[in-house]
Chains A and B, each alone.
Chain A
Amino acid sequence: MASAKRAGRDRVVTLSPDRITGLTASLSLVLAPHAVRIPLWMVILAAAAMILRTWIAWRGQRLPRTWMLAVLTLFAALGTWMSYGVIFGRDAAVALLILMLCLKLMEMRDTRDAMVLVFLAYFTVITNFLYSQSIPMGAYLLGCVWAITANLLAIQRAGQPRVTGLLRESALLLAQAAPLMLVLFLLFPRVQGPLWALPQAGAGGLSGLSDAMSPGSLSSLSLSDAVAFRVEFGATPPKADTLYWRGPVLWDFDGRTWRAPGTDLVGQAELEIGGTPIRQTITLEAHDMRWLFALDMPGGAPTSSYLTLDLQLRAARPVRERMRYEVTSFPSYRLGRYEVPGLLERALQLPASFNPRSRQLAETWRQEGLTPEQLVQRALTMFREQPFVYTLTPPAAAGHAVDDFLFVTRRGFCEHYAAAFAFLMRAAGVPTRVVTGYQGGTLNPVGKYLIVRQSDAHAWAEVWFEGRGWIRVDPTAAVSPLRIERGAAAALPGVGAVPLLGQVDNDWIKDLRFAMDMVANGWNQWVLDYSPERQMNMMSRFAGGHVSWRGISTALVAATGIVVAILALIALRHTRSAPADPAWLLWQAFSQKLAKHGVARASNEGPRAFAIRASAALPRHATSIRAIAALYARLRYEEGSRPDDLSNLKRAVRELRLD
C-alpha cells in the first residue's frame, strides 16, 4: 500500500542519462545568446540547473522534491521582479521563461516531460529573434532547431540511437519542412500592427543624426561604421561631390549649439525644379528619429511622410523599424526665392555676447560694402588660404567656440566649419542656416547600390540671396576638397580613428565587405522587411492583377497542399514494396464483408484465429468462412498452392452472402 502510494507521488525517472544530457546540451545552445542579456545571477542559476540535472541523471540521484521546486519557482519570479521591476514586457518575460525552463528540467522524469521541454525549447528559440534578426543569428538558431529536433527523435526511440543518425534524420526532417516553411513565409497573410511587429529596443544603441549640432557631435558619429541607409538609383548614380543627403535643418544658435526648430516649419516650400530628376529607393535603418533622407532637393514626400518649409523630409512617426521608401530629387533647383520675412529674420538671429572677435571680423567685412555673394566668397577664401586643418580630433573649444576655432586653433571637422561659416554670415547680415545630413557614400559594385554610413555624416550651410533663394555652401569643401570628392577617409590620411572600412586598401577585403553588405541588404529587403505591402505587390505581380486577402489565403492552402502532396509522394515511393498480394486484397474484402455484420477482424488476427471466431459468431456461414480462411492461408503462407486457388478464393469471397 505504502509503496504504491509513494510510486504515485514521485514517478520513476524513465529517461536515460544520454537523452537528458542531449536535452540540456541543446537547451544551453538555445539559451546561450540570452546569457549576455539577462542578469548574472540568472546565468549562474540556469547553468547550475543544467549541470545539476545532468549530474543527477548520470549518478542516478534523486530529483529535488516538489516543495523545493515550488520555493525555487517563487524565488525566481521574485528575483525577476527585483531585477526588472516588472515580470511582463520583453526582457522580464524572456528572463522568466528561461528560469522556468531550467526549473522544469528539475522535474523532468519521463517522455512526456521531455516533450514539454522540447516544445518549450522551440519556443525559446523564437525569443532570440526579439533581440537580433541578423543572418548569423538566424543560422545559429537554425542549428538550435536542428539539435532540438534530434532530441525529439531520440525521446521517441527505443534503445541507444546513435547521435549521428539522429542528427542526420533531424536534418532530413528540417529539409522536408523547408519548402513548407517557404510557402508559409511567402503566403501566410501578413497583418501590419502590434500583433506582428517585433518590439523594438528604445533609442539606446541606435546612432544617427540628432536635431542639434554642437562641436564634436558629428565627429563622434564619424567613428561609427554603422550603415545609415542604402540607396538604389533608378539610373546611373550621380557624381560623388553632388551627393548631399539632406537631413535636419538647424536654425537656432545659442552660442554653442545649433538646433532645429522645436516644431516643424509647416508650409508649402516654394521650390522651382529643373534638371534630370534622380529617382532613389532608400532603405533607411532604424534611428528612432523622424527624418528621412533624400538628395538635395526632394521634389515630393513618400507615403506617411511630409516635406517641411525648409525641405526636411519628415516621417509621421519615429523610424523604429527599417523602412524603405522611394523619393525623387532634383539637382537643379531654386528654393524660397520669396522666403517668408519672419524666417529670414530667424536666419539672422545670433546670441549677443558670444564670439566678439568673429563678430568684429564680420563687421569689418560688412563695412567694406560687399554684396552677400562676395561675403560668402570672402569667408571661403579665408578658409582656403589661411592654415585651416581638416581633422577629426580638434582641440577642445573654450567659451567662445567660434572665436577659438577661427583665430586660435584653426583645426576642426565639418561641424566646426559649417558652424563658424554660418556664424560669420549671420553676423555679416546674410540669412544662413545649417543643414546636417550625409555626404557621399560608398558604391557597392557587387550589388550596384550606394551604402551611406554614419561616418558619412556631414554638415553644411545654406545662405539666402535676394532673387536666388537658398544656396548650398559647403565650407568644408573649401578646406578639404578631398572630403567631398572622395570621402572622409581620403581627407584624413593617417588618422587611426577612421572606421575600419575606410582604412582598408586591400582590394579583396573590400570586395568581401561589399559582398557581405549585399547579402545583408538582401536579407533586410526580402526577409525582414517582407511587409504586407511587399507581399501584396509580389502576389499581384505574380498573378498579373489585383490580389485579395482571400486570394492569398487560397494560394496558401493550395501551395501547402501541393508541397505536402509532393513530399508524401516522395516518401511513399521509398516505402512502397512489391505490388499488393491479390490474395491479401481478397482477404481484406472478406474482412470488410464480415465487419459489416459485426464481426470485425482485429488487425493482429491471423486467418485461422479469425476463421474460428467468425464461424462461431456466424454459424450459418461457418463452412464458407473456414473455406475462405483455409484458401487464403494456403495462398499466402504455404508452399505450392494450387493454380485455381486464387480464382476459388475470389469466387468464394464474392459469393459469400451473409444475409
Chain B
Amino acid sequence: MNPDIQSVLAAIDGILLGKPREVRLTLACVLARGHLLIEDVPGVGKTTLAHAFARVLGLAFQRIQFTSDLLPADIIGVSVYDREQGRFDFHPGPVFSQVVLADEVNRATPKAQSALLEAMEEQQVTVDGQTRALPAPFFVIATQNPSNQVGTYPLPESQLDRFLMRIHLGYPDAKAERALLGGETRRSVIEATTPVLDTERLLALQTAARGVHAAPALLDYVQALLTHSRQSPAFGSGLSPRAGLSLLAAARAWAFIEGRNAVLPEDIQAVLPGVAGHRLMPPDGSMSGGDALVRRLVDDVAVP
C-alpha cells in the first residue's frame, strides 16, 4: 500500500471513529476526482468527515450552509463596483476552495443548487461573461437530510448523476461511540492533526490512481453490469455510460487504495453501492430502494 495513502487513512480514522469503509470510499472519491453526496440524519459526522479530509489532505476548506434563501451569488461570488478604481471587482464566493462542504443541499432552491452543480461539472464558474477556473483539486461534499422533507427540494435524478458516489454514514458502533464520548471534541482533534499531504502530492496520487490497469476481462464485467441494468425489468432506468465511466474510475481508485495496480471484480463490487445506489431507480419510478437494487444487480450478474 502506498505510504501516503496509509498515513492519510490512519489520520482520518483517528478523527472519524469506526467508519473505515466510508472513509475509504470518500478517499476513493477524491482520488477519482469525483464529488460526494452524503445522505444521512444530522449529527453522524458529515461535517467532521469533510473537515478531516480537508485538513489531512492539506486542502483549503469552505463550508456553505444551504438555506431556502441562498442565492447563486452566495455560492459563486459577486462583482462589486469599486468607485475609486472605477471598475468591478470580483469577490469570489465560497465555491473557490479545494474542499467545499455543501451542507443540507436540499434546503436551497433548485436555482442555487444548480449553481453549485454546474461548478462541480465544469470545474469553473462564469460570472459576468468571464470564466474563472476553480482550484484543483476540487472536491465537493454535499449532504442531504433524508428526513424532514417538508419545504425542501430533493435533488432531481439528473443532478444526482453529477455525484460520483452517494454514501450513508450511519451511527457508529458501540466501541467507536464509547471512544467518541470519552475523547476530546472532534474540532480540537482536527485542529491537532497535521496535514499529511499537500496539493501537489494529492494531484500526483490522483494521476497514479488513474493509471491502475483495467483488463479486458474486467471491462467485460462492467459492461455486463451496465447491460443488465438496462435490460432487466427489475430496474426502471439503466446505468448511463457516464455511470459506467464513474464506476471504473472509482474502482481504479479503490484498487489503488488497496495497494493494487489492477482492478479486480471485487473492487467494482466494493464501489458499486456508492456509485450506482443513487443512479438506479426501481421500475415504478419511486425513489426508494437504491441499495437493494445494487445488491440485486451484483447478485444477478456473473463475473465473466
B266 and A157: CB pair below 8 A?
A: no
Q: Are B217 and A158 in contact (CB under 8 A)?
A: no
| Alpha-carbon separation in the docked complex, A553 to B266 (Å) | 52
Of the candidates A159, A604, A605, A638, which one forms a contact with B261 in the assembled complex, judged by CB atoms under 8 Å apart?
A638
Residue of A nearest to B281 (CB): A158
Contact in complex: B283, A14 (CB < 8 Å): yes
Asked if A111 and B233 make an inter-chain contact with CB atoms under 8 angstroms apart, the answer reads yes
B237 and A603 contact, CB distance less than 8 A: no
Within 8 Å of chain A (Cβ to Cβ): is B173?
A: no
Contacts of B230 in A (CB 8 A): 158-159
**Is B215 in contact with A637, judged by CB distance below 8 angstroms?**
yes
**With A and B bound together, what is the CA distance between A634 and B304 in angstroms?**
15
B235 interface residue (CB < 8 Å to A): yes
- Contact between B231 and A606, CB atoms less than 8 A apart: no
Q: How far is the CA of A12 from the CA of B299 in the complex (A)?
A: 26
Contact status B237-A158, CB under 8 Å: yes
Using known A-B contacts A12-B284, A638-B261, determine if residue A606 contacts B233 with beta carbons closer than 8 Å: no
Size range of the interface on A?
20 to 34
User: Known: A158-B283, A636-B217. Is A607-B264 also a contact (CB below 8 A)?
Assistant: yes
Q: Is B303 an interface residue (CB 8 A)?
A: yes
Given A158-B238, A605-B303, A637:B262 Cβ within 8 A: yes
Is A156 on the interface with B (CB-CB < 8 A)? yes
B231 proximity list for chain A (CB < 8 A): 157-158
Look across to chain B and name the residue whose beta carbon is closest to the beta carbon of A634: B262
Residue B263 is within 8 A (CB to CB) of chain A in the complex: yes
What is the 8 Å Cβ interface bit string for chain A, positions 157-179, against chain B (1 contact, 0 not)? 11100000000000000000000
Complex alpha-carbon distance, A638 and B266, angstroms:
14
Does A463 interact with chain B (Cβ within 8 Å)? Answer: no
* Contact yes or no, B213 A638, CB < 8 A: yes
Q: Are A604 and B302 in contact (CB under 8 A)?
A: yes
* Among B265, B284, B301, contact of A14 (Cβ-Cβ < 8 Å): B284
Taking the complex as formed, is B155 at the interface, i.e. its CB lies under 8 A from any CB of chain A? no
CB-defined contacts of B233 to chain A, threshold 8 Å: 111, 155-158
A526 at the interface (CB under 8 A from B): no
B266 touches A606 (CB 8 A): yes
A505 located at the interface, meaning its Cβ lies under 8 Å from any Cβ of chain B in the complex: no
Alpha-carbon distance between A273 and B261 when the two chains are bound, in angstroms: 102
- Taking CB as reference atom, which chain A residue is nearest B213? A639
Which residues on B sit within 8 Å (CB–CB) of A605? Answer: 303
Write out the residue numbers on chain A whose beta carbons fall within 8 Å of the beta carbon of B284.
12, 14
B159 within 8 A of A: no
Q: Which residues in B have their C-beta under 8 angstroms from that of A633?
A: 262, 264
Complex-state Cα separation, A603 to B224, whole angstroms: 13
Interface residues of A in 622-642 (CB under 8 A from B): 633-634, 636-639
Query: Is B14's CB within 8 Å of the partner chain A?
Result: no
Contact A638 B235 (CB under 8 A): no
Give Cα distance in the complex from A234 to B238, angstroms. Answer: 67
Task: Name the contact of A637 in the complex, choosing from B217, B236, B298, B299 (C-beta under 8 A).
Answer: B217
Residues of A within 8 A of B236 (CB): 158-159
In the complex, residue of chain A having the shortest beta-carbon distance to the beta carbon of B285:
A14
> Counting CB contacts under 8 A, is A584 at the interface?
yes
Extra contacts, 16 of them, besides A158-B229, A637-B265 (Cβ < 8 A), are A14-B283, A14-B284, A111-B233, A158-B237, A159-B236, A159-B237, A604-B299, A605-B303, A606-B264, A606-B265, A606-B269, A633-B264, A637-B215, A638-B215, A638-B261, A639-B262
On A, residues with C-beta under 8 Å from B are: 12, 14, 111, 155-159, 581, 584, 603-609, 633-634, 636-639
Q: List 11 A-B contacts (CB under 8 A).
A: A12-B284, A14-B284, A158-B229, A158-B233, A159-B236, A581-B217, A603-B303, A604-B302, A606-B269, A607-B266, A637-B213
Interface residue ranges, B against A (CB under 8 Å): 213, 215, 217-218, 229-233, 235-238, 261-266, 269, 283-284, 298-304
